[in-house]
C-alpha cells in the first residue's frame, strides 16, 4: 500500500495504468505461479482504507478499459 500511496501525489494528469493482481492464494497456487506473495500484497493494499483515502484526496478516478474507451470515443463525460 505504501508504494501506491506515495506514487499518487506525483502522478501527472492523464491516464496511468496500475495493474494489481489481487489474490488470496491457496495451497495449490504455487503450481500456477510463484507470484503468490506479491499478489497477496496487492490484495491487502486494495483492501486498505488508507489507500481509499489517498485515492479520494488526490481525486483519482478509478476506471475500467471499457469506460476508458467510452470516454475516448465521447460516449461519456470525464467528470464524476
Its pTM stands at: 0.66
- Is 77 among the domain residues? no
Question: Given pLDDT bands bounded at 50, 70 and 90, which one contains residue 78?
Answer: low
Grid coordinates 499478489 are at which residue?
A: 39
Question: Given pLDDT bands bounded at 50, 70 and 90, which one contains residue 12?
Answer: confident
Q: CA–CA separation, 76 vs 72, rounded Å?
A: 8
Whether the predicted pLDDT of 80 surpasses 60: no
Provide the domain count of the chain. 1
Predicted confidence (pLDDT) per residue in 20-47, tens digit: 888 888 888 888 888 888 888 888 888 9
- Is 63 among the domain residues? yes
Domain that holds residue 9: 2-72
Predicted confidence (pLDDT) per residue in 51-71, tens digit: 889 989 988 888 888 988 898
- Is 27 among the domain residues? yes
Amino acid at each position: 500500500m505504501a508504494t501506491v500511496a506515495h506514487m499518487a501525489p506525483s502522478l501527472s494528469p492523464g491516464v496511468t495504468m496500475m495493474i494489481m493482481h489481487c489474490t488470496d492464494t491457496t495451497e495449490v497456487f504455487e503450481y500456477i505461479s510463484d507470484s503468490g506473495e506479491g499478489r497477496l500484497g496487492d490484495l491487502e493494499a486494495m483492501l486498505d482504507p488508507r489507500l481509499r483515502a489517498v485515492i479520494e484526496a488526490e481525486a483519482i478516478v478509478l476506471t475500467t478499459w471499457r469506460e476508458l474507451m467510452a470516454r475516448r470515443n465521447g460516449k461519456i463525460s470525464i467528470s464524476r
